[in-house]
Structure 1
Amino acid sequence: MSDKQLRSIRESARARISIWHGSVRSGKTIASLVALLLGIRRAPASGLILICGRSLQTIERNIIEPLQDPALFGAVASEVRHTRGATTATVLGHTVHLIGASDARAEGRLRGLTAALAYVDEITLLPEAFFAQLLARLSVPGARLLGTTNPDSPRHWAKVGYLDRTHELNLRAWHFRLTDNPSLTPQYLADLSAEYVGLWRRRMIDGAWVVAEGAVYDMWDEQRHVVAALPTMRRYWLGIDYGTTNPFAAVLLGLGEDGRLYAVSEWRHDSRLAHRQMTDAQYSAAVRSWLGRHQVEPEWTFIDPSAASLITQLWTDGHPGVTRADNDVRGGIRSVASALAGGLLYVHESCADLLDEVPGYSWDPAATAKGEDRPTKNADHSLDALRYVVHSTAHEWRHLLTTSGEPLNDRLPRADHLNSSR
């Protein structure tokens, strides 16, 4: 372990609140888990031991599974026992309660309990009220809270209410950068850096608490990212943003033989412009007719998860590979931004509505003032469809990202036009 990791473990034993924050893969989580194990071993006889996170699944993935890895924790790993889905685990002979906190209602799960030790995974993803209530529950003499987080907005409640007040509170914090993890190889650092651009590079790679402002896709360059010709496609996927009074948008994403991603075509219906609404059955027929004209059958169709009725209709009509899209907005924006910046994602000139939306897509200043990262909800329907399909297929293309941000090759793809039907 690095000197910073070891120092943070020692110093955390003397603070009521200990927070490890900074870039991804910087060693902060391992240091905090060692501090957690020591804290459990020395925990007061009275009071509960808690591990809190966004959900039970994230706690299992981010905390329990690493603790059970003998490559990380040796023989101690055998003393961490948990049945997947259970809300308790046994660690070093102590019962540990696992609490998911996905929304403000989670605060109620803490009321009435008394805790001696609490570990919080990804503090910035939890509701502020839950965190405050958790601190109030740590009433046993010597009780402590340990937590980790990646950076967020500099106006986030965790930064303003706690990290910026270390001189006022019984709190110690350690800021980690990638260079603080001695186990990372240069190739891994290069690959990881290629996956984050703009706002996320500054947060996740540099470990900076920076504000989201201006254009969401500030790397967008119409001269570079818009193409008039398309290569032969090896694979297709489809993203759909569902709307009845709002526009309905479908974006077809292709993986070309040149190893690039292309938004090759779009289909859109705006009931306000057309002066008529369409039923789910009509949407299903229209989308399948549009794909049929292009002689395309996508491997998967990723749909706005809230559009349950359309998903059912497409299933009924035999549309292949229908599934709910990954609707992590920030994660989806990061995937699209990484693909654009990495010279991997391009848009065919026929996708007029998508091209109209990209330049005006910006961060909501009112949300930014509250410490939240949220784009403006205006003229974003084709962009949402693109985000659904790009983010939901990230595991298929992320390895294609370049570290230089230059196109994967300098040769323009050969002509193979697809005209959009709108």
Structure 2
Amino acid sequence: MDHKHSLSTRIVMVFALMTAFVAGFFAVGIVATVHVVERKLTTISLGGNLHRLLLMESPEQWTHRPDKSELFFVEDGPADLNLAPALDALPEGFSEVAFEGQPYYAMTQVVDGRRYVLLRDQVSLKQRERVLFLVVTLGFALSILLAIFLGWLLARRVMAPVVRLASQVRHRDQLLALAPPLAPDYTSDEVGELATSFDQTLGRLRAALGREKLFTSDVSHELRTPLMVLASSCELLLDNRSLDVRSQAQVGRIARASAEMRQLVDTFLMLARTENRTSHLGPTTCLEDVADALTEVWGRLIKDKGLEFFYCVEQRSTARYNLTFVQAVMGNLLRNAWHYTDHGFIRLSLYEQGFVVEDSGIGIPEEKRNAMFQPFVRGDEQRGEGLGLGLSLVQRICSHQHWRVTLDSREPNGCRFSVDLRSLADTDRASG
């Protein structure tokens, strides 16, 4: 499993691992060096003591110990110095031997055919080695702790300008035209280069936003006029009684299409203009008024398709919402239900803080359900009409207004779209 750590944590880890490697290398070297040196010194010391004993006129008469940790034995010597059988096989020179259950260092020398052995107890040396090992281990652990602490301080100092730069880039005012550049606040190092790159990228973003605002204003001016002309022309044609029934139906379709186009243009323009993500721009209305107006249009189209249409006001509400956004969300869901339902019914139900659109259509496969609110995704690719943008627009509006839209399947077939018009923050507080 790939564990992702912050850059500060990785700096501390690298610092600690480097210290552990260096400190461990020196600790092992110190222990090994002390062991070798003490062994060498012990060899020299035992050899010197044995040589002094052999210089005595009669070593066999030696009855005292030159050192409490040393024992002296002579082959064919007095009873108290006689060489024990366990020491007969010792090689000449320095060696280690277990004598009477205790470890000893031994120095053996043969003079005129007689074997002389001097033993030294290893207890004191082992105690010194244990103390040394404890000290080295404690030093190693302290060096690791010190490395972690120093690495933490170093990481904070190194990452401080990066954290500051991230905070400045994250701030929304950096996209404003009057936002100051970032690079002058940093030195000419890697962080300064990063700040310069951010300045260049933010500059391109500001330019793109400026072009989008100009495009929005142009669309607002250029599209509204022909749409109004088209709508007024349709009204005049519908008032002309000389048109036959088929022609009136065709003109009615053109009028509805122009009205939908005008609503779509208004929706996109409002989404582009409300950069502060508030819902207080434009006219407001209650949910029931929007539903009444849309059912007059879509109820007739649904019934003309041979479907049953149910309009239920389960709970009434006086809350007011943005007219353009509510019309776009409810209208797109009704259009989606009408488009993908060939038999059965479509139901629109109003509640105190939202509404539900249900249908008995072809439904949406489980594997495509999570992707239905993405642009250019359609429930049935074989149906020629539509680009798959309706549900994407619904999701965009709900995200903009902090509403919530959910999709569930119906049994045995069909879809159920639920729209909660409460703010997500209010919903979380109510559930908590």
Q: Normalization by structure 2: what TM-score?
A: 0.19
Structure with greater strand share of residues: 1
Structure with greater helix share of residues: 2
Larger RCO: Structure 1 or Structure 2 (Cα < 8 Å, ≥ 6 residues apart)?
A: 1
Larger radius of gyration: 2
